[in-house]
Chains A and B, each alone.
Chain A
């Protein structure tokens, strides 16, 4: 059995990529399954999807904990989560990044293919939807599925859903990725540390439903403890504040869904980029053009 785990962000198309890869495997004559992991978090949050490929019928239905291949749709994800956890030492990794494999630190040193799928997606599709480009790189990384079957699966699946032209463009993106991706071996210097959680057995949960603010080892639980979730890592564009243009109308402060815009004593603003998700509401509502959205997760 060959198991592939996809890591991406909500909206990048990790689920579609997993499904398309499974279809390509079926076209090649294998049995395959594909399914996403449903977390509670929303757009921009890290998401997972899985594909299993086998010569015989697959009856296993669990998540994939020890993948043979890791597909990373956003090269920055290892900074947030230990996503390489469980990857077999003889496994492979496919990463969307501008770096070369030897420069990329995954946490486990394995055979790695890097591809600048974001640039390819912008060129071919005019949108940062990287799932089809990454499929081309998967075909390069391992011959479990051939490029022809991947391209056919993309044309079928995307063509059916978004129209024939979209199918062809997406297949082109995959072909470009297949031609331009770089093979090598990535670094394994980063420690893989699981995020601390507090999930006691039910007998140890405090009686009743009221949970006071409490420090449970490394985790704080109870009212107001959400600050431990640094949602700023979801950001793909960042607001830049120009204080000299600010008219102190407080509209951005009012309309920030995260509360990352801090109102100062003098009614000027300060940004807490640790939590900013980069939605752009503040830049859109500002009457004085004092906030500008810039590409990438940046801070000022």
Chain B
């Protein structure tokens, strides 16, 4: 790629045609994580050191003694992506080597278990790239609920019962937690909006300091979807407002893409078996929440919420623990 090229004008065509995340890994057919990692590695190039905490990626990409990463690769425990990436960068600095350090954590390793190490690294403004591959549950251990799981979704720990069907809380907004740290760069990405994806990864690569990228990666077995629809689902997530694309430089956020119209959330839900049980009330609750989110997010461009909101929001039920709130 020519160095002179303006990052905001990059497209798919500018992605280097050399892979550093190689074939022969053991991901499920149609894996969203593999698509995201493969393309991020193409853009980051050979001078990269990869750290992966416990996640699907460590299991399918690199089992001792083989590895799908054609660059140095490291793996330790679940909760310390921010800390270990910091340490690798410090060692490289000490040795006088120039190498980008990237940590690929899952949503469990970011939203729940790894949040303290992530927050610490962002606070210290370490020169690392942190990528959260968000498949909205702990898929590696067999689909358990995480903070990233959306409202109404089935997982093995938010099962579908007679009274309570699926997860009862909305997705944790980790992007705003990260934006509050005011890192030099952070962005949300979708594998289906590739030009946007390329620009954001290139931008993250060009900046020094702590960078946070949050990618939505559909999971075929966990979302109960068809393997061929991975990209379609990722696209619909953006078009229905389930996923919003923005970037923030030192806490100043700006939109990078706005869908022309908001599609009904059912377009997104009907392709996934994890939402198959959802009642009309639950779909409406989710749609209302999305409309609110849409309005907040695209405030400058939208005059009113795109669908009718109830004046007093119905409180969202708790998880069914009878002692909850006592």
Contact = CB atoms under 8 A, between A and B. Distances in A.
Contacts of B29: 43-44, 234, 257, 277-280
| Shortest beta-carbon contacts, A-B, top 6 | A280-B228, A279-B29, A224-B70, A279-B30, A221-B65, A257-B34
Nearest to A285: B231
A179 B228 CA distance: 36
Interface string A208-239: 01110000100111111111111100100000
B71 interface: yes
A252 to B, nearest CB: 10
A281 B21 contact: no
Interface in B22-41: 22-32, 34-35, 38-39
Interface string A250-294: 110011111110010001000010110111110111000000010
B72 interface: yes
A227 B228 contact: no
Interface stretch (B10-18, B99-107, B250-258): B10-18
A224 B228 contact: no
B63 A40 contact: yes
A224 B28 contact: no
Given A223-B67, A254-B39, A42 B26 contact: yes
Contacts of A229: 24-26, 66
20 contacts: A42-B27, A43-B220, A43-B221, A45-B26, A210-B72, A211-B65, A216-B65, A221-B65, A222-B67, A224-B22, A226-B62, A231-B24, A254-B15, A255-B231, A256-B38, A257-B31, A259-B19, A259-B38, A272-B23, A279-B220
B170 interface: no
Given A231-B24, A251-B194, A257-B38, 10 more contacts: A41-B26, A42-B28, A42-B221, A227-B24, A228-B24, A257-B31, A259-B23, A260-B23, A281-B227, A284-B228
Interface in A28-59: 40-45
A250 B35 CA distance: 14
A76 B23 CA distance: 22
A167 to B, nearest CB: 21
A131 to B, nearest CB: 17
A203 to B, nearest CB: 15
Interface in A161-206: 198
Contact of B228 (A228, A230, A281): A281
Contacts of A224: 22, 67-70
Main secondary structure of the interface of A (DSSP, over half): loop
Nearest to A45: B26
B17 to A, nearest CB: 5
B74 interface: yes
A272 B65 CA distance: 24
A66 to B, nearest CB: 27
A255 B35 contact: yes
Nearest to B62: A226
Interface residues of A, number: 49
A209 B221 contact: no
Interface of A: 40-45, 198, 209-211, 216, 219-231, 234, 249-251, 254-260, 263, 267, 272, 274-275, 277-281, 283-285, 293
Interface residues of B, number: 48
A231 B26 contact: yes
Contacts of A226: 22-25, 61-62, 66-68
Given A210-B72, A222-B67, A279-B30, A263 B24 contact: no
Given A224-B70, A229-B24, A231-B24, A198 B31 contact: no
A107 to B, nearest CB: 25
A90 to B, nearest CB: 36
Contacts of A293: 228
B215 to A, nearest CB: 13
Contacts of A40: 26, 59-60, 63
A258 B74 CA distance: 21
Nearest to B67: A223
B158 interface: no
Contacts of B62: 226
B175 to A, nearest CB: 24
Contacts of B23: 226-227, 231, 258-260, 272, 274-275
B123 interface: no
A279 B227 contact: yes
Contacts of A260: 23
A260 B15 CA distance: 16
Contacts of B38: 256-257, 259
A286 to B, nearest CB: 10
A204 to B, nearest CB: 12
Interface in B221-238: 221, 226-232
B26 A257 contact: no
Q: Which of B28, B34, B60, B73 has the most CB of A within 10 A?
A: B28
A266 B81 CA distance: 40
B248 interface: no
Contact of B30 (A228, A249, A267, A281): A281
A259 B42 CA distance: 11
Given A40-B59, A279-B230, A257 B67 contact: no
B34 to A, nearest CB: 4
